Amino acid sequence: MNKLRAYRLQDAGADTVDANLMVGFEADERTYLPAATMLKALGFTSVRLMTNNPDKVAQLARWGVQVVDRVPHIFPANGHNIAYLRTKAEKAGHLL
């Protein structure tokens, strides 16, 4: 329910980070332990990871999965996503 409240706040003009904080979430609520556990269970201790989020790299390393290469998502900004991308870069440190 809170995620829907956060989306409503975004529709009213809050950015994605601020909306999550306003409903009591962290800026990013995800946990990477389950993904690291599954990767290790499959025999993977290192990966190439497609992401712009440096925290994903750090979190997987924290749980014992080395990211040997970060492959960026590359796509053009447009009128629908420019504010979202700017927020991700400025507030969440995404590498765009």
Residues labelled catalytic = 28, 30
Six-digit token string for 79 = 């009128």
Residues recorded for the chain: 96
DSSP tag of 63: T
